[in-house]
Amino acid sequence: MTQHDEQPAPRTFTAAPPLSGSVTVPGDKSISHRSLMLSALAVGESRVEGLLEGEDVLATAAAMRAMGADIQRDDDGIWHIHGVGVGGLLQPQTAIDMGNSGTSTRLLMGLLASHDLTATFIGDASLSKRPMARVTEPLSRMGASFTTSPGERLPLTMKGACPAVPLDYRLPVASAQVKSAILLAGLNTPGITRVIEPIPTRDHSERMLKGFGADIDVEVEADGTRIITLVGEAELKPQQIVVPGDPSSAAFPMVAALLVPGSRVTIANVGLNATRAGLIDLLREMGGSIEVVNAREVGGEPVGDLIVTASALRGIEPDPARAPSMIDEYPVAFIAAALAEGRSIFRGLEELRVKESDRIATMAEGLRTIGVRVEELEDGLIIEGSGGAALAGGGPIATKLDHRIAMSFAVAGLVSKDGVTIDDMRPVATSFPTFLPLLQSLGAIA
């Protein structure tokens, strides 16, 4: 059952005793989406272990099934995907319902742009508010055509082009989704597709395309600009993939353990890809004790276990260039800043205004509701920290159907005087279905 056909599920989170224990977080959402899509384009059977089984990723699985891939999950939680080959996707018979998943919508639009088929994408109320122009614009240059709702939004119908036209594209804004959409379109496009990325973003697509056997090359210039070249009409080979724990999900127990006095928590098997690990660096600079142990590589991705110990944090003014490496973690970083000593200034976060909600405005409003002094900027927030004193609390917090807003304020409730009430916890199922049991296992909630 999806989150938009039930009643809201409010919940209050109250001050917690010291957190302790060892936990794992669900599989990385970005890698889970891509592993299903690329396995569906390989010829033969791929196996995926540790797949995130949240609503967003299940929407991707359903979409790939609708276009001909055979996708099964066995009782051990291992997913078996029999692909159709690059260029082999079939015409879907009905509209593709992406639920709340912006990532898979944009990536799938790329995948389909170079196939001779027509597809209609629909989504929930939150996804239907999110603009798609940043993807439809480059994909149109490759030959795909789009009929969108006003504001380049869903519902949206697209017609792919076969053969598509290879593209040489410089990203106007840092976006892993746009980059990935163009590269996925390039798989079935004759010739060379090239993406120039002035500011590096998460590189899961490049790593995984290489792993599946695509002819892809990444060149880094002296100023850090990345030039990604993909040779089209690729033949992908099936893979065995182990999905690491999602650093965006690990962010919540990590910040909770830093903030709740006396806590010491181990978070096992977390993906530590440098393009995603910005929050760990930021929290360490604020004075947070986060130790990486058992560092290793799994399927081309760096992985490790984190030992997090409660720490007194200080305010920070991070470099805006860090934003792409922790874009999804800013909401919970704002909670850390609210407990820090002194002022934190976050800038360069325009991207947050077009997430599941306008995360700058939604976080500012929620922080004020629980007694935090905050100033909203066009591209970020200025937060006056409490110096470690418990937050006042209050609510209900209007989460705007945004899973990361809900979980961030749940963490705030663990360090509040009067508790923090969240208006609706249902959206958490999109990315972190085990969030409440995880908090329970650490002793944070009864």
Q: Are 362 and 388 in contact (CB under 8 A)?
A: no
Largest CA distance in the chain: 61
CB 201 within 8 A of CB 176: yes
Neighbours of 376 (CB within 10 A): 14
For 183, 220, 229, 316, 422, the CA distances from 224, given in Å and listed in that order, are 20, 6, 16, 24, 41
pTM: 0.84
Each residue's pLDDT tens digit, 401-415? 999 999 999 999 999
Is pLDDT above 70 for 418?
yes
What are the CA-CA distances from residue 357 to residues 86, 229, 399, 436 (Å)?
Answer: 34, 33, 8, 22
Give the active site residues.
328
pLDDT of residue 73: 98
pLDDT at 299 over 80: no
Asked if pLDDT for residue 53 goes beyond 60, the answer is: yes
* pLDDT score of 300: 77
Nearest alpha-carbon partner for 86 in 104, 110, 102, 52:
110
Q: Which two tokens stand for residue 85?
A: 């080959």
pLDDT bracket for residue 6 (50, 70, 90): confident
**Helix (H) and strand (E) counts in the chain:** 12, 22
For residues 150 and 132, is the Cβ–Cβ distance under 8 A? Answer: no
Q: What is the pLDDT of residues 212-266, one digit of tens each?
A: 999 999 999 999 999 999 999 999 999 999 999 999 999 999 999 999 999 999 9
Q: Is the pLDDT of residue 5 over 80?
A: no
- Does residue 3 have a pLDDT over 80? no
pLDDT of residue 4: 47
Tell me how far apart the alpha carbons of residues 286 and 282 are, in angstroms, rounded to a whole number.
Answer: 6
Model pLDDT, residue 194 = 98
- Residue-wise pLDDT for 160-217, tens only, equals 999 999 999 999 988 999 999 999 999 999 999 999 999 989 899 999 999 999 999 9
Q: With 80 as the cut, is the pLDDT of residue 1 above it?
A: no
**Please, what is the angle between helix 330-339 and helix 247-259, to 10°?**
10
Q: How far apart are CA 149 and CA 127, in angstroms?
A: 12
Report the percent of the chain where pLDDT is more than 70: 99
Q: Do residues 209 and 185 touch, judged by C-beta distance below 8 A?
A: no
The C-alpha atoms of residue 176 and residue 107 are separated, in whole angstroms, by 10
Alpha-carbon torsion (196, 345, 374, 251), positive or negative: positive
Rounded Cα distance, 231 and 248, in Å? 31
Determine how many CB atoms are found less than 10 A away from the CB of residue 7: 7
pLDDT surpasses 50 at 352: yes
Q: Give per-residue pLDDT as tens, 313-347.
A: 999 999 998 998 899 999 999 999 999 999 999 99
- Smallest CA-to-CA distance from 267 within 88, 19, 11 is with 19
| pLDDT at residue 2 is higher than 70 | no
Window from 271-280, 296-305, 308-317, 437-446 with minimum mean pLDDT: 296-305
Residues 6+ apart with CB under 8 A from 89: 40, 41, 67, 68, 111, 112, 115, 117
